[in-house]
Amino acid sequence: MPELPEVETTVAGLRSVLQGSVLTRVEPRRADLRFPIPVDLRQRMTGATVTGLSRRAKYGLIETDRGDMMIFHLGMSGRWRIDPAEIGTHDHLLLETAGGRVLALNDPRRFGSIDLVRTEAWQAYAPFTRMGPEPLGPAFDVAMLAAALKGKATSIKAALLDQRVVAGLGNIYVCEALNMAGIAPTRPAGKIGRPRLALLVAAIRDVLSAAIVAGGSTLRDYARPDGELGYFSKQWRVYGREGESCPCGGAVQRRIDGGRSTFFCAQCQK
């Protein structure tokens, strides 16, 4: 599933094509993805000028001069394709600009979503009202994380995957950050002291920033909008590396937690 760095990379790719452009064609090619596509999407977006593109957690935000914002989620296998040579079966939404550029939202598994809200009310969009702060934003710091984890008996890995604690973190980057900070994924979240939480906050910021620079991780169907593959997977410390060496020299292990693979090193993560 595309995580925060992949969505950030996607938004940057879309910005290079859409920012300041007039949408001359907005064509949903089916009625729904994971949820119904707004029936008035074509009417409200056609002819609009794109005034801004941004990201909230794992969602992309496309603003227009009409006061509407299109919110997209890439689900498990979604990606935008820029100027595709041909339109495929799994291209479920097409956007065309006055400059002749074409964007296709491709989602074979259809777990993604497209929604439309008024720009002034975007923060009241239901999924956003339950989210914690952005991990790369100023609100995410040691004091905030300590308060959010206070009294939690759940594992630190499960706590970090809880979007109410911090928004946008996913399995890959939580495994990587915990290894970088030297914290066992099974350690009770509420029993981690501030000095170690400081290491964790820094590790989360560092791993996400590095992944964005690298264009994200290539995982199954994910590719950047220009078709290039992200290469952060070449920098993975533990994720997907069961049986290989951790940077500390220990062996990377894998366990299943909540149906997801957790990669860690018992030698350096305590």
User: Residue 224: what pLDDT?
Assistant: 53
pLDDT of residue 220: 43
Q: What angle do CA 39, 34, 38 make, to 5 degrees?
A: 10
The yes-or-no verdict on residue 227 having pLDDT over 80 is no
Please, which pLDDT band fits residue 132 given cuts at 50, 70 and 90? very high
Which sequence positions are flagged as catalytic? 2-3, 58, 260
- Does the annotation place 109 within a ligand binding site? yes
Is 152 annotated in a binding site? The answer is yes
pLDDT (0 to 100) of residue 77 = 86
pLDDT tens by residue, 146-191: 999 999 999 999 999 999 999 999 999 999 999 999 999 999 999 9
- Structural domains in the chain, sorted by start: 4-129 (3.20.190.10), 142-265 (1.10.8.50)
What is the DSSP pairing of strand 59-64 with strand 68-73? antiparallel
pLDDT higher than 80, residue 30: yes
The confidence score (pLDDT) of residue 216 equals 67
Classify strands 23-28 and 50-56 as parallel, antiparallel or unpaired: unpaired
Please report the pLDDT score of residue 221 as a whole number. 45
118 marked as binding residue:
no
Q: Is the pLDDT at 247 greater than 80, yes or no? A: yes
Average pLDDT of the segment spanning 235-249:
95
Please report the pLDDT score of residue 222 as a whole number: 46
Is residue 47 very low, low, confident or very high in pLDDT (cuts 50, 70, 90)?
A: very high
**Rounded (5°) CA angle 49-51-57:** 125
Mean pLDDT, range 128-135, rounded to an integer: 96
Which of 230, 224, 236 is closest to 172 using CA atoms? 236
- Burial, 87: exposed, middle or buried (Cβ in 10 Å; 0-12, 13-18, 19+)? middle
Q: What is the pLDDT of residues 68-81, one digit of tens each?
A: 999 999 998 899 99
Q: How far is CA 145 from CA 103, 139, 152, 257, in A?
A: 38, 10, 12, 22
Query: Read out DSSP for 231-244?
Result: -GGGG-SSTT-TTS
Angle at CA 235, nearest 5°, toward 230 and 238? 120
